[in-house]
Amino acid sequence: MEYLLEVDGVRKAFPGVLALDGVSLQVRAGTVHALMGENGAGKSTLMNVVSGLLAPDAGRVALGGRVAMIHQELHLMPSMTVAENIFLGREPLTRFGFVDERALNRKTAALLDALNVDIDPEALIGDLVLAERQMVEIARAVSYDADVLIMDEPTSTLSEREVSRLFRLVADLRERRHAVIYITHKIDEVFRIADDVTVMRDGRVVGSLPVAQLDRDRLIAMMVGRELTQLFPKENVPTDRVALSIRRLSLAGAFSDVSFDVRAGEIFGIAGLVGSKRTELAEAIFGLRQATSGEILIDGVPAGIDSPAAAIDRGMAFLTEDRKISGLFLPLRVHENMEVAVLKDGFVSSGFVKQVKLLDACRAAAKAVHVKTPDLFEPVRHLSGGNQQKVLVGRWLLTEPRILMLDEPTRGVDVGAKAEIHRLISTLAANGAAVIMISSEMPEILGMSDRVMVMRQGRVAGILDRRDANQLELMRLAAH
């Protein structure tokens, strides 16, 4: 049997953490090998060892060719163009030794066209939305024509249309006898594209099997070590009180004439394809962008929100979709990242922070969302991506918000943590909070929302009640 990758007894330790404990893995040519496990299981660390970013403390890695990796956290230069990012260090040169810009852009355009990606090669990365940046990261990895392509959560920001496009690419790589190692928390994706699956837990391999020998329940049990009976613990909270009203809100160049109400106790989902301007709408409501026209009302009173600070003062909270760029302070500790939203009110007296009370509150919030960290004094950059996301959720729990907006709340989060976050969202709504949830995951939107608003090209395409919402209808509205 032809293996393009063989890992044998790999061990890797960091201060206070044994990340990999004797891990072995074999990946066949011409297959898609899914790698699964909860956050902190060691998946990304193992792939960083395979790709040469980390040296193992013990064990052996044998590669039958070149390897390229699409990282979960994007590694792009915002001030450079798409073409410059894709071929950085491999640019075509003129006979005088200068970068041949025309050839570079032509080469990039041909690559993007082959991937059916509609992005201008000369566009700046900093001007692209997160999903477009994800596609650029994918294109860069594909450009190496590697024998082994590692994809770490490649669909975390993509809509169903972009996911289908990516899966066609994966199928093409398989047919050409490449090997794809596919790291994901999305169970459905494994059964759609994978041939084999390896499950990791606490730095060890707990099982490696053909996908044909698994079902959803068994795979989840292998990942979390327990049965997961309810991924979408939705409660019905009848209420007529309108907590948030959006009236004909517009932002020039982004969205136009958006109106909707969110009741206290309601989970209001917002769906749409990439470019539908869901994130821009949420940012305008929270004061991160200044709307061109329209009105925001809280409890029927004009809110006058002109900044995030004003939004927080009015009981709003906003979990952004890109935790590293707009959410976390990476050099700071876990508790410092959590407490930044509540350094006032009951935690400050006469200009002094009540540190013990604040740490106790942070500890309780971290426990509620199951953050895996040695302690609250650990720099947040040392945590896995999923645990970083849970730190942000914990931050906003501390504020006890009356209106909570969540943009891709379970991006890069494992199935166990996803259920925990869903349970927290449902509990907040049951306690009277109005929740707006933006998600690219159809099951999440359909499983958690009381109503769903679908956006298309910056406008409201329709609002559906829970009983009328299904994947076909959402896609019809989003892509009509």
pLDDT digits (tens, 9 = 90+) for 165-215: 888 888 888 988 989 999 987 888 999 999 999 999 888 999 999 999 998
pLDDT in tens, 71-114: 766 778 889 999 999 999 999 999 888 999 999 999 999 989 88
Strands annotated E in 15-79 = 17-28, 32-36, 58-63, 67-70
User: Pick the residue with more confidence: 384 or 276?
Assistant: 276
State the pLDDT at residue 190: 92
Using CB atoms within 10 Å of the CB of residue 459, give its burial: 0 to 12 exposed, 13 to 18 middle, 19+ buried.
middle
Contacts of 365 by beta carbon, 8 Å cutoff, 6+ apart:
338, 394, 395, 397, 398
- Comparing CA positions, the residue from 429, 433, 442 lying closest to residue 271 is 442
Say if CB 288 and CB 322 are below 8 A apart: no
Sign of the alpha-carbon torsion through 152, 155, 157, 158? positive
- Comparing CA positions, the residue from 467, 450, 446 lying closest to residue 263 is 450
Rounded CA separation 155/151 (Å): 9
Rounded CA separation 413/39 (Å): 7
Residue 264 has pLDDT above 90, yes or no: yes
State the pLDDT at residue 24: 95
Say if CB 60 and CB 83 are below 8 A apart: no
- Comparing CA positions, the residue from 199, 218, 170 lying closest to residue 70 is 170
Rounded CA separation 417/424 (Å): 10
Rounded CA separation 279/330 (Å): 22
Span 242-271, mean pLDDT?
Answer: 95
Strands annotated E in 339-399 = 348-349, 352-353
Using CB atoms within 10 Å of the CB of residue 102, give its burial: 0 to 12 exposed, 13 to 18 middle, 19+ buried.
exposed
Residue 265 has pLDDT above 90, yes or no: yes
Rounded CA separation 97/100 (Å): 9
Say if CB 160 and CB 475 are below 8 A apart: yes
Domains and CATH numbers, the chain: 3-224 (3.40.50.300), 242-479 (3.40.50.300)
State the pLDDT at residue 117: 83
State the pLDDT at residue 207: 92
Residue 230 has pLDDT above 70, yes or no: no
Place of tokens 């201060």: 15
State the pLDDT at residue 345: 67
Residue 30 has pLDDT above 70, yes or no: yes
State the pLDDT at residue 443: 83
Residue 125 has pLDDT above 70, yes or no: yes
Q: What are phi and psi of 460, to 5 degrees?
A: -80, 120
Tell me the average pLDDT of the chain: 87
Token output for 472: 């076909």
Span 41-46, mean pLDDT?
Answer: 87
pLDDT in tens, 345-354: 677 777 787 8
Q: Given pLDDT bands bounded at 50, 70 and 90, which one contains residue 55?
A: very high
Residue 475 has pLDDT above 90, yes or no: no
State the pLDDT at residue 246: 96
Q: Chain-centre distance of CA 204, in angstroms?
A: 24
Q: Given pLDDT bands bounded at 50, 70 and 90, which one contains residue 473?
A: confident
Q: Which of 313-322, 368-377, 459-468 has the highest mean pLDDT?
A: 459-468
State the pLDDT at residue 41: 82
Segment holding 388, helix H or strand E: helix 385-398
